[in-house]
Amino acid sequence: MITPEDVYAALEKKHAQEGQFYRWLGASLIGHPCSRYVALKFRVAFEDKLKGQTLRIFDAGHEAEDRIIRDMHATGKVYISDQQKMIDLPGAKGHAGVTLDGIALVDSVRMVWECKTANDASFTKFEKQGVKAAKPQYYAQVQVGMMLTNLKNALHTTENKNTSALRFEVIPYNHEVAENLASLARRIVDGFEGQRCNDRPDWYECKWCPANKMCHGSAIPRKHCLTCCHSTAVDGGKWACRIFGDAVIPDENLPVGCDDHLYLPWMLNCQVVGYGEYWVEYELPGGERFYNLPVSSFPKITGVDNPVLLTSEMMEQAGDVTRI
């Protein structure tokens, strides 16, 4: 007999197979309150495991768009076009931009259209506070969208999932906000590691963050090309490797990496106490030290008695620096 758990498990498996190496820095991510999270997410440093029930909620939100468009078209006052149109952010080398829910033509005025669903509590918060105060990340998303479409207003549509009530809000373009977000996106593409929104791991925005154990704790990032200090984002949404003469890395190789992998030091919550061209030495809180180095350099550390030499693969298998 089928159970809800069977459905959830199937969705989780599908998501793990299709969505765990998504590396587009979209406008909804750029506006996240923690730029360290954005940097780690862009580099696919951690697995963002979503429960099957949550995935169904996301799907319901996407499926609601077509129904809401149909209902708005029925009024004869709104027409939605350009659904799911992707626009690159200039200067971000094809790694960042916006995916529009659509362009709304309202009373002969073109606007960015963004559609969301919300539970009753969130819907009420939108009504009382407006999008900017209630959900700054949504506000940031439409600002980037307006900048990249040269439109001066956005129509933000919210549906109450509990009552099917609709809410509309016209959000004006804020050039300063949009430029700051675009600048952050370009910096992250170019290697900026971001800044924590708070140094307390129990802070409300950090407590439930999927990157918490890596950002605040001792979890080790995933081993692949994007977490390696030899890789660089280049034009066309591609990545190049310095080890191989700045050659472009084939897309199918990105999730795998190679034996020359060397972790980006900022991703590890350890003190860097030394480094060379192909190795980095770290010190743990208890005073223990270890070297992260590629297979090709193993073992080339001299002048140290019994050094702890760890390839990135060995570290990933440990999963946590306290287990090293």
Say whether pLDDT at 20 is over 70. Answer: no
Q: How confident is the model at residue 308 (pLDDT cuts 50, 70, 90)?
A: confident
Residue recorded with tokens 């765990």 = 20
| Percent of residues, the chain, with pLDDT higher than 90 | 74
Instruction: Determine the angle formed by the axes of helices 35-42 and 175-189, rounding to 10 degrees.
Output: 50
Provide the CB-side half-sphere exposure for 10 (13 A, CA).
Answer: 7
Residue 65 vs residue 147, higher pLDDT: 147
More confident residue, 21 or 271: 271
pLDDT surpassing 90 at residue 11 = no
- Which pLDDT does position 170 carry in this prediction? 97
> Where in the chain does DSSP place strands (E)?
25-26, 78-81, 86-88, 96-99, 102-106, 109-118, 153-160, 166-172, 231-234, 238-241, 247-248, 271-276, 279-283, 289-292, 309-310
- Is 231:239 a contact under the CB 8 Å cutoff? yes
What is the per-residue pLDDT for 287?
87
Residue-level pLDDT at 177? 97
Q: For residue 154, what are its two tokens?
A: 């956005």
What is the rounded average pLDDT for all residues in the chain? 91
Q: Which of 15-29, 36-50, 285-299 is modeled with the greatest confidence?
A: 36-50
Coil, strand or helix at 310 = strand
Q: Which residue has better confidence, 210 or 47?
A: 210
Helix (H), strand (E) counts: the chain? 11, 15
Q: Greater confidence, 284 or 6? A: 284
pTM of the model: 0.90
Q: Is the pLDDT of residue 47 over 90?
A: no
In the numeric block, the tokens 């350099």 are attached to 297
| pLDDT of 53 | 77
- Mean pLDDT along residues 90-98: 97
pLDDT, residue 323, reads: 85
Q: How much of the chain, in percent, has pLDDT values that exceed 70?
A: 93
Q: Is the pLDDT of residue 210 over 80?
A: yes
Write the pLDDT tens digit of every residue in 262-300. Answer: 999 999 989 999 988 789 999 988 888 999 998 776 666
pLDDT beyond 90 at 152 = yes
Distance between CA atoms of residues 240 and 225, nearest Å: 9
